[in-house]
Amino acid sequence: MKIVLNSIRFFVIIATALFATTVYAGGGNKNDKDGGQVSSAEEVKEYILHHVKDSHDFTLWSYTNDEGERKHVGFPLPIILWTSNGLVTFMSSEFHHNDDGHVVVEKKGLRFAKIHSKIYELEPGASEIKFDESHHATNAHKVLDFSITKSVFGIFLVGILMFIWFRGLARQYKKKKIPTGFARILEPLVLYVRDEIARPNIGEKHYRRFTGYLLTVFFFIWILNLLGLTPLGFNVTGQIAVTAALAVFTLIIYLFSGNKSFWGHILWMPGVPVLIRPILAVIELAGTLLIKPFSLLVRLFANISAGHIVVMSLIGIMITMKASMGAVGSTLLAFVLSFFITLIEVLVAFLQAFIFTMLSALFIGMAVEEHDHH
Amino acid sequence: MTIPNLVGAGLIVIGAGIGLGKIGGSAMEGIARQPEATGKIQTAMIIIAALLEGLAFGALFLGQ
């Protein structure tokens, strides 16, 4: 019961944070692409591309009020920059949702502007950003950005959630044999990852060492995928940096747990003519160091991004087909199509988490497998 | 996206479609012949499909 209470308390805190969100005015700029009223196919496209990228604000929705001002509902997130003058921090609300570099924030004698969700530092003396013909900033450069962006916020959220849930589960195992409450939902999932993914792929002898990592990766990806389907608008596992980091974890684990026979089969393949061995070593090294992690990271990234784009495009039918089908017809079509695609996406969310974990287990299994030579 | 890119994306999708069709068809046949091995066949099928999908997505990604 306690874990349920803890989770409820956590959700209440999050919900309070969400509902205590401030309504803050944007630049009042009609061409502001950060939500608001979207009425043409180009704007739908731009809106989707904006959603797929990471953002420095947490905007739940936005609207244009009677005075023609753009209002955003959500909360600002901290921006943390490492610049030529050291650490600079401020809240993202100081940019007033401007995303084309026209709002300049001055901190520690430096000026900053935000263009397409990237923060630029203006050169000394410059007071506004100048663009060349291809829309590149000429008098500003990018800075090291350690901001708590929307994706980082999502990762923290899932981290805390998983810590509460699984600490509760572990604590219950210490006290008695059968977990109660919410932990009963988690137990079969944990056992599934252990018995269906870790044990058959890694082998009876070594699977215990790696089950912790596989469980973490599985639940992390799964919960984030499901969070991406909620209207909160997270797209964390669709960020290539996130999936790349996960793939690098798997790479490090199977490189450092690889045994002698694993490296022997890569560098000096037994059982083939000696002249072919160096060629095979090159191919095997490329496969182990590059192709395996690359396939892991691209699969997850592309699947989740594609899913988000498809769902949002189908919702966009509401706007693009309005002229030919009428408001009711286009909304109905958009609802039916996006509803069924979202159901498929729920399956894909699980499948991608499963596949990432399964392939990680397979690669680790290859590294620790013991060959008995006759 | 330019026309060659789009043609390439089309070819990738055709190839991946043929591959997935063969995997799915063989798995179906295998399950029909040996229903008690359904779980094992499904797991193997998903792994192969995932590898194929990774290849197709990698090609699409590099072709962008």
Residue A280 domain boundaries: 150-368
Mention every residue, 6+ apart, whose C-beta is less than 8 A from residue B4.
none
* Interchain CB contact of A355 with B (< 8 Å): yes
Mention every residue, 6+ apart, whose C-beta is less than 8 A from residue A58.
A21, A74, A75, A76, A77, A150, A153
Choosing among A298, A305, A358, which should be mutated to test the B contact, i.e. which has the most B CBs within 10 A?
A: A298
Question: Within 10 Å of residue A267's Cβ, how many Cβ atoms?
Answer: 13
The answer to whether A232 and A60 are in contact (CB under 8 A) is: yes
Q: Kindly tell me if the per-residue pLDDT of B4 is higher than 90.
A: no
Q: Is residue A92 part of a domain?
A: yes
Instruction: For residues A109 and A224, state if they share a domain.
Output: no
State which H helix or E strand residue A102 sits in. Answer: none
Question: Within 10 Å of residue A312's Cβ, how many Cβ atoms?
Answer: 18
Among A111, A129, A145, the domain-final residue is A145
- Residue appearing with tokens 């693009």: A320
Which among A58, A34, A48 is positioned nearest to A115, based on CA atoms?
A34
Strand order in the sheet with A110-115: A105-107, A110-115, A118-122, A140-142
Contact: A296, B54; criterion CB under 8 Å: yes
Tokens of A193: 């990852």
Q: Is residue A278 part of a domain?
A: yes
Residues of B whose CB is below 8 A from A196: 43
Instruction: For residues A137 and A160, state if they share a domain.
Output: no
So what's the pLDDT on residue A28? 45
Low-confidence ranges of chain A (pLDDT < 70): 1-8, 10-37, 372-374
So what's the pLDDT on residue B19? 94
Handedness of CA A234, A238, A242, A246 (dihedral sign): positive
Question: Within 10 Å of residue A275's Cβ, how many Cβ atoms?
Answer: 7
Handedness of CA B30, B36, B39, B44 (dihedral sign): negative
Instruction: For residues A217 and A246, state if they share a domain.
Output: yes
Instruction: For residues A246 and A168, state if they share a domain.
Output: yes
Using CA atoms, how far apart are residues A368 and A353, in angstroms rounded to an integer? 23
Instruction: For residues A235 and A87, state if they share a domain.
Output: no
Which among A26, A59, A54 is positioned nearest to A149, based on CA atoms?
A54
So what's the pLDDT on residue A40? 78
Instruction: For residues A136 and A218, state if they share a domain.
Output: no
**Secondary structure class of A361 (helix, strand, coil):** helix
**Secondary structure class of A277 (helix, strand, coil):** helix
Q: Is residue A251 part of a domain?
A: yes
Choosing among A355, A356, A366, which should be mutated to test the B contact, i.e. which has the most B CBs within 10 A?
A: A355
Tokens of A65: 């009020």
A286: region left, alpha or beta (phi > 0 left; psi from -120 to 50 alpha): alpha
Query: Taking the CA of residue B26 as centre, how many other CA atoms within 13 Å lie in the half-sphere pointing to its CB?
Result: 11
Instruction: For residues A250 and A204, state if they share a domain.
Output: yes
Q: Which long-range contacts (CB under 8 A, 24 or more apart) does A247-254 make?
A: A247/A293, A247/A294, A247/A296, A247/A297, A248/A293, A249/A213, A249/A217, A250/A217, A250/A293, A250/A296, A250/A360, A250/A363, A250/A364, A251/A289, A251/A292, A251/A293, A253/A210, A253/A213, A253/A360, A253/A364, A254/A363, A254/A364, A254/A366, A254/A367
Which among A179, A215, A242 is positioned nearest to A360, based on CA atoms?
A215
* Closest-approach residue (CA) in chain B for A352: B50
Instruction: For residues A125 and A237, state if they share a domain.
Output: no
Question: What integer is the mean pLDDT of B2-14?
Answer: 88
Total structural domains within chain A: 2
Among A127, A145, A163, the domain-final residue is A145
Instruction: For residues A83 and A173, state if they share a domain.
Output: no
Q: Is residue A118 part of a domain?
A: yes
Which among B43, B61, B51, B41 is positioned nearest to B16, based on CA atoms?
B51
So what's the pLDDT on residue A220? 95
* Partner residue opposite B54 with nearest CB, options A196, A298, A362: A298
* Closest-approach residue (CA) in chain B for A300: B54
Instruction: For residues A123 and A178, state if they share a domain.
Output: no
So what's the pLDDT on residue A12? 67
Q: Is residue A45 part of a domain?
A: no
Instruction: For residues A199 and A337, state if they share a domain.
Output: yes
**Number of inter-chain CB pairs under 8 A, A vs B:** 32
| Residue spans of beta strands (DSSP E) within A18-158 | 22-25, 57-64, 70-76, 78-83, 86-91, 105-107, 110-115, 118-122, 140-142, 144-145
Contact: A302, B50; criterion CB under 8 Å: no
Using CA atoms, how far apart are residues A253 and A241, in angstroms rounded to an integer? 18
Q: Is residue A175 part of a domain?
A: yes
Across chain A, what does the average pLDDT equal? Answer: 84
In terms of Cβ atoms closer than 10 Å to its own Cβ (0-12, 13-18, 19+), residue A78 is middle
Which chain A residues in 273-302 lie under 8 Å from chain B, judged by CB atoms?
294-296, 298-299, 302
Q: Is residue A106 part of a domain?
A: yes
Helix axis angle for B3-33 and B38-63, nearest 10°, is 180
In terms of Cβ atoms closer than 10 Å to its own Cβ (0-12, 13-18, 19+), residue A142 is exposed
* Partner residue opposite B57 with nearest CB, options A299, A354, A358: A299
Instruction: For residues A190 and A173, state if they share a domain.
Output: yes
Contact: A295, B61; criterion CB under 8 Å: no
* Interchain CB contact of B59 with A (< 8 Å): no
Q: Kindly tell me if the per-residue pLDDT of B29 is higher than 50.
A: yes
Using CA atoms, how far apart are residues A193 and A199, in angstroms rounded to an integer? 9
Among A98, A125, A145, the domain-final residue is A145
Tokens of A288: 């182990």
Q: Is residue A310 part of a domain?
A: yes
